Structure 1
Amino acid sequence: MQMSTELFATLVASVEASSDRALSNNDAPRWIRKLSEEDAILMSQADVRDVCIVTRHLRALLLQHEGKRFLTVSGLDADDDLPEGFEALELTPSFLALAVSQLKLAPRASPIEIFDTIESSFAGEDGYEGHELEDIAKLFPSVSVFKLNEDADSSGSIWRSVGVLLSKFYGQGPIELSGEALNGLKELYEAGSNHVPFRNIVQGHLAITWSGLFLELYRAIEQLYSVPKLVKLTDIWASPKSFYELAELLESQLGWRPKEEDALRELIESCDASLLEMLANELCPDAENKSQAVAKAIYKQRNSLVHFRSAMPEQCYSNEQWNNRICLMIKLVSQLYERHGNNYMLPRAQ
């Protein structure tokens, strides 16, 4: 009932903030007509696992209830061709109330439309049993509800789940991502290491420029830069702490951090030879020392995007070239976290 009260309080506040209309009964209790006892229980007992405000319009809510996981999303146009592990559900009063409350959804309808919908119906009026769901739902941004496959790795992470949907329904996104790039992102969201910083990947996925996506993928790799040196250090000086903790201590207490280009080269050397070959063919086809040349090329591109100096001009690439580079960066992120994610994030066994 509290969430239903919050929903109608949001509508009342929208009318009160306008000079167009004035409710004569703004304090009167209102609610959405009860669908079922099961739905009412979901509203009161569902465990809110996570909330993410991805953009101003794209927002998501991850719920757990009676052993089932649900993803509620606002601001994403999805059709019936859903990715594997997603089952579309009908919007119910509980899912709408939870979405409005947890995602802080503001009404999209005008104050006049809201006034016309709620003014004459309220508790105490003869025959009032609540507003119809469709009448209230249309006053807010669209909300989609999905039941997730609990066995899927992505179902436990709101950012991974949102990423899977973005990969499927990118549509008229701001950059011209190829089918291969979108499939690569989808595979990363679905099957990548749990330690990949998926929030960064989603932010890059929604970037309005190629450089935004490239830099978020680079940042994901950058987090692992201390790994090669920490592997050597802990071989002779064991520590139960995760590499993440050790890297933080070394930088905060001693002011040490790895040299980026050298660290990138060492990480690349830990990858499969086939991936190194693909990177070299795209970035530095004539190089003799491929790992060094690939690291230099990636780091140079990073610098040209981060810095704004005449000595570091940003290079212009075609959509095809950008897609090739993005696909390779996705593969690099995936493989590096598969190899080093556990060591970096988890405490080490003694």
Structure 2
Amino acid sequence: MQFDTFENLLFSLVSVSWKHSFLDVYRCIERLFSISFWQEFYQNLGIKDSLINFSANIENYTDWRPKEKEAINKLIDSQPEYAINLLKEIKNDLDGNSEGNLGEFIYKIRNSIVHFRPATEPISIDDKNWDKLIRACLLVIEYCYNQYKDEFNDNCQNQVVIERSRDNLQD
């Protein structure tokens, strides 16, 4: 797991509020948006560079990234049943039904915290559902980071080589 992801999870653990804990966990999911969005296209092109670098290059060179709502829906739809069921429980408790896009539901909660606009309604979540929501998001993180572990490991190894090269140049 990358250091920045580990750092976000650590901040989530020591947070004094549920919403800030959730936001740090959400950032780990957000890290996956472009990777999961571009995976099929990347594989079809047969590119030799890593999927992470490919995703970063698309964003850096074209200034384009997937819309968050679409990306999170695609990501959440591919999750194991136990994570989906937990998210449905929370959605049912808060919205009165478990139908609809679960990714959009998570995104709506995120937006209710980070945006302070008149059109953005705050969402009231009790301790039980905060706990479930964060647990469900952690299940998503565990599943996805295991799914992409080779990508992350390759990218981390490349970063170490780059950093060592920089250190050698400075000596």
SS in 2 for 1:275: helix
| Residue among 286, 295, 301 paired with 2:97 | 286
1:227 deviates by: 2.1
- Structure 2 unaligned runs (5+)? 156-171
1:199 deviates by: 0.7
Letter in 2 for 1:215: L
Distance 1:312 1:345, change over 3 A: farther
Q: Does 1:231 align with 2:39?
A: yes
Q: Which residue of 1 aligns with 2:16?
A: 208
Q: Does 1:252 align with 2:60?
A: yes
Instruction: Decide which moves more: 259-268 or 232-241.
Output: 232-241
Letter in 1 for 2:146: E
Q: Report if the CA contact (8 A) 2:91-2:97 is conserved.
A: no
Distance 1:222 1:345, change over 3 A: farther
| Residue among 128, 134, 141 paired with 1:333 | 141
TM-score (normalised: structure 2): 0.79
Larger radius of gyration: 1
Distance 1:203 1:288, change over 3 A: closer
Letter in 1 for 2:35: V
- Structure 1 distance, partners of 2:122, 2:97, is 22
Distance 1:249 1:258, change over 3 A: same
Q: Does 1:262 align with 2:70?
A: yes
Number of aligned residue pairs:
151
- Structure 2 distance, partners of 1:277, 1:318, is 18
Distance 1:237 1:228, change over 3 A: same
- Structure 1 distance, partners of 2:139, 2:65, is 25
| Residue among 91, 113, 123 paired with 1:305 | 113
More strand by share: 1
- Structure 2 distance, partners of 1:307, 1:288, is 25
- Structure 2 distance, partners of 1:300, 1:330, is 18
1:286 deviates by: 2.6
Q: Does 1:217 align with 2:25?
A: yes
Which structure 1 residue ranges, 4+ long, deviate > 6 Å from structure 2? none
1:217 deviates by: 0.5
TM-score (normalised: structure 1): 0.40
1:231 deviates by: 1.4
Q: Report if the CA contact (8 A) 2:42-2:51 is conserved.
A: no
- Structure 1 distance, partners of 2:46, 2:102, is 32
- Structure 2 distance, partners of 1:212, 1:337, is 21
1:306 deviates by: 0.8
More helix by share: 2
Cα shift readout 1:4-33 (whole Å, capped 9, x = no counterpart): xxxxxxxxxxxxxxxxxxxxxxxxxxxxxx
| Residue among 43, 49, 70 paired with 1:241 | 49
- Structure 2 distance, partners of 1:344, 1:254, is 23
Q: Report if the CA contact (8 A) 1:243-1:344 is conserved.
A: no
- Structure 2 distance, partners of 1:345, 1:307, is 34
- Structure 1 distance, partners of 2:25, 2:55, is 20
Task: State the Cα RMSD in Å.
Answer: 1.9
Distance 1:207 1:273, change over 3 A: same
1:264 deviates by: 0.9
Cα shift readout 1:237-277 (whole Å, capped 9, x = no counterpart): 11122222112211111111111111111111221123212
